[in-house]
Amino acid sequence: MTFAATVLTLYPEMFPGPLGASLSGDALSRGLWSLEARQIRDHGIGRHRNVDDTPAGGGVGMVLRCDVLAAAIDAAVPPDDPRPKLLMSPRGRPLRQARVRELAGGPGAIIVCGRFEGVDERVIEGRGLEEVSIGDYVLSGGEIAALVLLDACVRLIPGVMGKESSGLDESFEGNRLEYPQYTRPREWEGRPIPDVLMSGNHAAIEKWRRAEAERITRERRPDLLSPSSSP
């Protein structure tokens, strides 16, 4: 099963963007995943292909029309398509590593990139869009957020990373941030590699890494250590 991503956007030229380079780009060229960017404006209204209108009840900005976006989704998604339909949105549920792993292990995703002041609520309800946020800030549109989500997913697809175990000790796996990493030279500007890492004692190294991950998480992200938190 190949991970297939379909992105609905007003700016399809933004894709694959950085996803066409490095690990994700190599995996794309090898057919380990696929990417299709579709133009929402193809389903716009009238001669000028309008896709937005003023917000009901008044207010600033414009809102992406439900009929236009629904038509774009319907054209891109067959009725029996099992892929989840995601809407990149600052009001969505925060993206966590556990959800990334679920998506990476599935058939792919339909990703809707909003613009303007938002998307008509009726299409979110009517097409069952799952709202996803990548952080507590607002972007100009959902495209960059979609790139982030896809990068996080693609790197976990089997065959993308050099070693399948290389993603298991990273930040957010097991509700911990990653321990410090070191490499040559053994000493740099008076800062040596911790002796334990050069000891060859794998049990001691593992104990040190666990302790360091715990320390850094407690200092920087204590919320991850709460019983209710999830990766």
Query: pLDDT at position 189, please?
Result: 97
Query: pLDDT at position 226, please?
Result: 81
Query: pLDDT at position 89, please?
Result: 97
Name the packing angle between helices 143-154 and 22-29 (round to 10°): 70
99: DSSP letter: H
H/E stretch holding 181 reads: none
Strands 187-188 and 191-192: antiparallel
Select from 185, 180, 158 the least CA-distant residue to 169: 180
Q: Where are the domains of the chain?
A: 3-154, 169-225
Alpha helix segments (H runs only) across 77-187? 97-104, 121-126, 143-154
Mean pLDDT, contiguous 10-residue spans, the chain (231 residues): 96 98 98 98 97 96 97 96 97 97 98 95 98 96 98 97 64 85 96 97 97 96 80 49
Report whether 62 contacts 52 (CB < 8 A).
yes
The superfamily (CATH) of domain 169-225 is tRNA(m1g37)methyltransferase, domain 2 (1.10.1270.20)
Query: pLDDT at position 165, please?
Result: 47
The superfamily (CATH) of domain 3-154 is SPOUT methyltransferase, trefoil knot domain (3.40.1280.10)
In angstroms, the Cα distances linking 57 to 18, 60, 62, 116, 126 are 39, 10, 12, 16, 21
Query: pLDDT at position 97, please?
Result: 95
